């Protein structure tokens, strides 16, 4: 059986999203890693250190994954998406 594991980007509230869906689907968050826990965290603005770098929530055979992606990173994200689109 084929499954889809979506990876969603949020602007700073991905932890709230994970908690909401964990409650709705009666499951537990599998992982949360904050940008402040990364080796390169000293280069981040203080307000972004508590944001989620990666979070995941099991939903049956699917894993919902989330991250906080900020507007200041938009040029980086756009180049990644463009690379993915051109790869296909």
pLDDT band at 44 (very low <50, low <70, confident <90, very high): confident
pLDDT at 87: 41
Mode of pairing for the β-strands spanning 52-59 and 62-68? antiparallel
Does the pLDDT at position 84 exceed 50? Answer: no
- CATH: 3.30.720.100, 3.40.50.1000, 3.40.50.2300, 3.10.20.30. Which one for 7-40+48-87? 3.30.720.100
| 3-state DSSP assignment of residue 54 | strand
> Is the pTM here over 0.85, yes or no?
no
Mean pLDDT of 44-64: 90
| Residues 6 or more apart whose Cβ sits within 8 Å of residue 22 | 28, 29, 57
């Amino acid at each position: 059986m084929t499954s889809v594991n979506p990876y969603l980007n949020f602007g700073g509230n991905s932890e709230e999203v994970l908690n909401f869906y964990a409650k709705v689907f009666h499951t537990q968050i599998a992982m949360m890693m904050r940008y402040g826990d990364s080796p390169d965290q000293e280069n981040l603005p203080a307000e972004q250190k508590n944001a989620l770098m990666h979070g995941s929530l099991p939903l049956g055979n699917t894993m919902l994954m989330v991250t906080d992606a900020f507007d200041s990173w938009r040029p980086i994200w756009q180049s990644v998406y463009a690379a993915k689109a051109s790869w296909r």
